[in-house]
């Protein structure tokens, strides 16, 4: 009775404050177990994201108590004659308002309220988790059993549903594939309000659509994630290159070892184009007492490249780790005497970015605009990208880390919704910049955003067929070009699973159908 009273009160406030177009009795009949909130803190939080470049105010925010809450709300919006946009929000780490909705409802999947705790199956080596669960909490839960997921993102304070709706990538992807290839089963609420279990064997069309589907086909309420025995420690190594060809050849050699026992477990890299310490917000890896400056090394075009690799190990094989690492390093062509090494617990390595986050928060440098640009670049054109962008457009100022590392396309499932370059190997190039209002024009949001546009224009004019990861476009024609030959399948799946276009409208892929069902728009 109390919850129904609160819901009635919330609906009345919606009518008064924002002019709710949905019939209030439709919401009352939902009998939601969770909380429908109009609190300024909830609405304000849902109206912004990590990107800090856009705002969109929802009418209300639902904190669901179950998957059934999510299904009831979506079904009500689908069946309503008025229509209502629905966006699922995890930890709010989107860059361009993808999880926002204006004059709709946001379902806050992550937060203090967790409908179901993680459930680990030691026998079958998987964990069932709520779609809004953060990966850091998945890790903590599975480590209690000595287990861990196989594939990660660099930052663990992201929701499971959020990363699976994109791909979820880090330095393990060359070997295990992205996170979404390590999922056995999903529970999904479609745009019709249906709560369905899907996998490769059951409702496979929905399963393939949702993975990498940018939230367009359903809201993930549960994921069954593959596990492996968790290593105890990590040997973390960084080596430097002044020659881009040597750098990429070594990266490509290392990922060619996927599936073999003698390999590194993580392969990434980053670009250094500005003077100063070879360090960044992603870690405190290099000692401030032992600074390395670009000017002290020969750098082709003023640019250095850092290969970042790890080898996992247990206490039982710690005595052989030196030999294994040395054997792998002998095959590489980095700058002599540029090897930086540290050993640390597995958890500390996976959670390395969060430690840097805390330092930036202490300096008020975290909650700033983040005009990030993430691109998949085909292997055949990565050298052209280096010349035109790293040694050209960027100059000597980055305003944040620039990641670059290759992945094996055969580790990606082409039946999913995600699109990648049509080559056996492609690179992620991630420009993870922060815009600062400190009087330096080259660190400002306008300058960095214009630089992103110049990079995309350069790729277009040079014929480099890049694909955006965490894509952002403003017109459907741009989306059609992005998806290419997958567009027909993508749009057909949309009509099947979200025919009224009510889900994830912040992606700006499909115009909402807010008329009664059957009407055109």
Which residues are the active-site residues? Answer: 93, 154, 268
Helix (H) or strand (E) holding 356: helix 352-362
- Two tokens, residue 137: 């909490």
To the nearest 10 degrees (0 to 180), the angle between helices 476-483 and 487-497 is: 120
Q: Dihedral sign for Cα 329, 334, 338, 343, please.
A: negative
- Angle among Cα 102, 104, 110 to the nearest 5 degrees reads 95
How many residues does this entry show for the chain? Answer: 521
The dihedrals phi and psi of 53, each to the nearest 5 degrees, come to: -115, -10
5: tokens are: 């009273």
Alpha helices (H) along 269-391 = 321-329, 346-350, 352-362, 382-385
Helix (H) or strand (E) segment spanning residue 385:
helix 382-385
Looking up tokens 């670059």, which residue turns up? 404
CB-based contact 305:404 (threshold 8 Å):
yes
Torsion of CA 329, 321, 254, 356, to 10 degrees: -100
Q: Within a 13 Å sphere around the CA of 387, how many CA atoms are in the beta-carbon half? A: 6
Q: Residue 178 and residue 163: Cα distance in Å, rounded?
A: 9
Please state, in angstroms and rounded to a whole number, the distance separating the CA atoms of residues 132 and 130.
5
Q: Are strands 402-408 and 425-431 parallel, antiparallel or unpaired?
A: antiparallel
Candidates 307, 313, 308; CA nearest to 262 is 313
Q: Which residue has the tokens 């996927």?
A: 258
**Strand pairing class (119-121; 183-190):** unpaired
CA distance 83 to 23: 10
The DSSP 8-state label assigned to residue 391 in this structure reads I
Task: Report phi then psi at 124, rounded to 5.
Answer: -95, -5
Residue 19 DSSP one-character state: -
What 8-state DSSP symbol labels residue 319? Answer: G
DSSP H or E stretch at residue 37: strand 35-37
CB 455 within 8 A of CB 434: no
Nearest to 189 by CA among 65, 29, 74: 74
Burial class for 99, CB neighbours closer than 10 Å (0-12, 13-18, 19+):
buried
């Amino acid at each position: 009775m109390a919850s129904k009273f609160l819901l009635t009160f919330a609906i009345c406030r919606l009518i008064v404050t924002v002019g709710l177009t949905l019939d209030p009795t439709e919401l009352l009949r939902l009998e939601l177990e969770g909380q429908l909130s109009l609190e300024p803190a909830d609405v304000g939080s849902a109206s912004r994201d990590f990107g800090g470049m856009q705002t969109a105010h929802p009418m209300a925010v639902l904190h669901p108590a179950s998957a059934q809450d999510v299904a009831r709300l979506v079904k009500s919006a689908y069946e309503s004659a008025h229509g209502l946009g629905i966006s699922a929000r995890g930890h709010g780490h989107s860059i361009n308002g993808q999880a926002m909705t204006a004059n709709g409802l946001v379902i806050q999947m992550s937060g203090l309220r967790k409908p179901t705790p993680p459930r680990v199956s030691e026998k079958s080596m998987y964990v069932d988790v709520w779609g809004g669960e953060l990966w850091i909490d998945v890790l903590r839960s599975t480590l209690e059993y000595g287990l861990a997921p196989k594939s990660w993102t660099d930052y663990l304070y992201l929701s499971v549903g959020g990363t699976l709706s994109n791909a979820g990538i880090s330095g393990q992807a060359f070997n295990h594939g992205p996170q979404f290839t390590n999922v056995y089963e999903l529970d999904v609420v479609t745009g019709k309000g249906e709560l369905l279990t899907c996998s490769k064997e059951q409702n496979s069309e929905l399963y393939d659509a949702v993975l990498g589907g940018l939230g367009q086909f359903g809201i993930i309420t549960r994921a069954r994630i593959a596990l492996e025995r968790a290593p105890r420690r990590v040997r973390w190594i960084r080596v430097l290159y002044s020659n881009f060809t040597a750098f990429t050849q070594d990266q490509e050699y290392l990922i060619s070892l996927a599936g073999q026992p003698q390999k590194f477990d993580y392969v990434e890299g980053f670009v250094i184009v500005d003077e100063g310490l070879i360090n960044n917000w992603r870690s405190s890896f290099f000692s401030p007492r032992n600074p390395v400056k670009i000017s002290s090394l020969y750098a082709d075009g003023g640019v250095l490249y850092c290969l970042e690799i790890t080898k996992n190990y247990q206490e039982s094989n710690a005595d052989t780790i030196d030999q294994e690492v040395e054997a792998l390093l002998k095959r590489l062509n980095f700058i002599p005497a540029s090897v930086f090494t540290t050993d640390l617990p597995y958890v500390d390595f996976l959670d390395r970015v969060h430690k840097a986050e805390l330092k930036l928060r202490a300096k008020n440098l975290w909650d700033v605009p983040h005009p990030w640009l993430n691109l998949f670049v085909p292997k055949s054109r990565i050298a052209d990208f280096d010349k035109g962008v790293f040694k050209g457009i960027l100059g000597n100022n980055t305003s944040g880390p620039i990641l670059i590392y290759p992945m094996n396309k055969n580790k990606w499932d082409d039946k999913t919704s995600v699109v990648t370059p049509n080559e056996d190997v492609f690179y992620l190039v991630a420009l993870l910049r922060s815009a600062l209002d400190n009087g330096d024009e080259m660190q400002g949001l306008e300058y960095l955003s214009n630089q992103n546009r110049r990079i995309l224009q350069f790729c277009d004019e040079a014929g480099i067929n890049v694909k955006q990861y965490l894509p952002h476009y403003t017109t459907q024609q741009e989306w059609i070009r992005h998806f290419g030959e997958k567009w027909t399948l993508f749009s057909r799946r949309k009509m099947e699973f979200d025919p009224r276009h009510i889900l994830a409208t912040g992606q700006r892929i499909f115009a909402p159908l807010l008329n009664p069902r059957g009407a055109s728009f």
